[in-house]
Structures are given as C-alpha cells and as structure tokens.
Amino acid sequence: MKPPEMGLPPSTAGARFPATRMRRTRQSPWIRGLVREHQLHPSDLVLPLFVIEGTNKREAIDSLPDVSRLSIDLLVETAQQAAKLGIPAVALFPAVDPKLKTPDGREAWNPESLVCRAVQALKTEVPGIGVICDVALDPYTDHGHDGLVQDGQVVNDETVAVLVRQALTLAAAGCDVVAPSDMMDGRIGAIRSALEKDGFANTMILSYAAKYASTFYGPFRDAVSSASALGTADKATYQMDPANGAEAVREVLLDVEEGADMVMIKPGMPYLDIIRDIAQATSVPVFAYQVSGEYAMLANGAAQGLFDRKKAFHESLMAFKRAGARGVLTYAALEIASDLTGAT
C-alpha cells in the first residue's frame, strides 16, 4: 500500500527519491547561485555611526571591536566610503559631552547640537547618502533613560512632547529619516502630525516599532556613554518583554496606522521569528538591527578562531533577509559591502 503523502505541497507530492534528488541543484557554484532564494547586496545595508566632538578624532570602543567614535570630519570620510560601496544610508548616534546631559535631555532639540552639525556636514559633503537620525533621549539625559523621569517613573505623554521637538530639530537640520527608538505610546502619530504641519512632509519615519528590553544593547550604551548614567536601572516599563510575540504585531500595526513609513525590529537574530511575523502582517518595509551585542559576539568569536568572521557575518545577514527584512543596520556594513563588491 502506498504511504500517505501528508505534509507535502501539491507540486512535490509523488516526487520521491530517486526521481527527486535535492542535491542535484547543490552540486556546483553556478547552479547554487542560479536557484538561490535570497541575495545580499550592499543596498540592503545601513551603517550605524557614532559621532563625537573634535577634529581628526577617532576613539576606539572597547566593547565593539573595530568600531570607533568619529569626529565629524572622519564621519564624512567614512560616509563617502560607504556611498562608494553602494551602502544607501548611515544612521547617526551621538556620544554627548556629559556636561550637556540634563534630566530633561534638552540638548536633544538644540539646533546646534553635535548630531545636527553632523547631519549638515553629511548632506553637504555626501549628498547622495541617506541620513537616519535616532529620536530618543537616552544620549542626552543624565539618568540614561529614553524619556523624561518624574517621581521615579518614565512618563509617556510628556516625553512624546519633547520627542516631537527633537524630531523637528533633526528634520530642520536636513536628516532624511527620523527614527524614534524610545517606545513611548503615541509618538509616531504626534511626530508625523508635527512634520506635516511644519513643512517636512517628505521626512520619513522609521519606527523602532518592536524594540525589546534586551541584554544585547550593552556595547551600544558604552558607545553613546549612557551605560554609566543608567546604572542598574532597566527599561522594561517601555521596551517590550522578550517573551512576547503577538504584542510586537500589535505595536507595529499601531505605528503604521499612525504614519510610520518603515518599521524596525530590534534586536535582530534572537528575534527572527518576530521579523517574519511582521513582514507577513504588514506591507511596509521591515528593517532589522544587528545590535551591538550580536555584532560583538560574532566579532569576538571570530577573533578567538571559533569560526570565519566573513562567513559568519554573511550568514547572519542572510538570515535577516530570509526572515523578511528589507534592510539591516549592522556595524559590519563596510566590510560586508567591500566583500560583496570585490573592493579592496
């Protein structure tokens, strides 16, 4: 009696070994390339950059191997290199002078701030590259939280009001995309409304719509000097619980309804299932962030000889594409784009 063909799609029902040999299309590089379901291109990558005050200044970040904080002049040179490799955009994160950090994070909406000057330099010197700016207060507050703190609590609506001011300031500086990463409720709608009202209708919003309260952000907080301010506090009252998946879909759909042009899932590899769920639930472009802890694990593992660095990064980034991400923010963007283009 013929065994049942349960679980096989109609197109493969009945096609069994030896009539079907799955290895046939794996036997040579040309056929593997021809039937490959997903491809990785430099245009899939966004390069995060950390900016500091000064000239010709480069500060290594101990917890992020091969990543540095850059003064604006070196930031421009790096962005020029990225553009030549076909990387379409950079994402800016400032390392703010501790003297400028305040409880209300007011430096976030200073039109002469470090990040605003960096945006202006990039738009002048590298006009073809997209500039994405983070909208959140953690680089600017002396307590390290993404929002305003009152009576020991991160308050929502009051924070949204100042995030709107920050977003408008960044748009006026010339950034192409504002990227709220704070996870306050209602901020996308408020920012979208303000951008429209103030003449920035073409400024895009990339919402960190599903940002989890993850342990993988440690090196990033070192890079923007917010770790010491935050101390032992956590962000669990506004970032998502890592145990929740359906909640992420709800968060994303709310942000899309409020006017988000694109959405971000953060972290990346531990949340591939979330990326897939979001990509299937909405038609807006979905991005993933290969966060600092993910990058550091791969870089450190490769440095210890546990695996090949280049292959590991390629594989990890392909996983994002396979899950449904249109693009990926990764600190490895330059080296991956160089490899993909054959640049030396």
Question: What is the per-residue pLDDT across 254-307, written as a single tens digit (0 to 9) for each?
Answer: 999 999 999 999 999 999 999 999 999 999 999 999 999 999 999 999 999 999
* The pLDDT of residue 177 is above 90: yes
Whole-structure pTM value: 0.92
Domain map (residue ranges) of the chain: 39-341
Find the mean pLDDT for residues 96-114. 96
Cα-based distances in Å from 277 to 57, 253, 280: 42, 12, 5
The matching CATH number, chosen from 3.40.50.1100, 3.20.20.70, 3.40.50.1240, 2.30.40.10, for 39-341 is 3.20.20.70
- Read off the pLDDT band of 344 (50, 70, 90): low
| pLDDT score of 7 | 53
Find the mean pLDDT for residues 232-251. 93
* The pLDDT of residue 39 is above 80: yes
| pLDDT score of 228 | 59
Average pLDDT, the chain: 93
Q: How many residues does the chain have?
A: 344
Find the mean pLDDT for residues 113-119. 98
Q: Give the integer Cα–Cα distance in Å for 51 and 37.
A: 37
> Which among 101, 211, 235, 321 is annotated as catalytic?
211
> Which among 101, 235, 266, 321 is annotated as catalytic?
266
* The pLDDT of residue 3 is above 50: no
Find the mean pLDDT for residues 219-229. 75
DSSP string covering 152-175: TEE-SHHHHHHHHHHHHHHHHHT-
The vertex-199 CA angle with 196 and 201, nearest 5°, equals 50
266 in catalytic set: yes
| pLDDT score of 2 | 45
Provide the Cα torsion 205, 233, 268, 117; round to 10°: 40
* The pLDDT of residue 1 is above 70: no
Question: What DSSP state is assigned to residue 102?
Answer: B
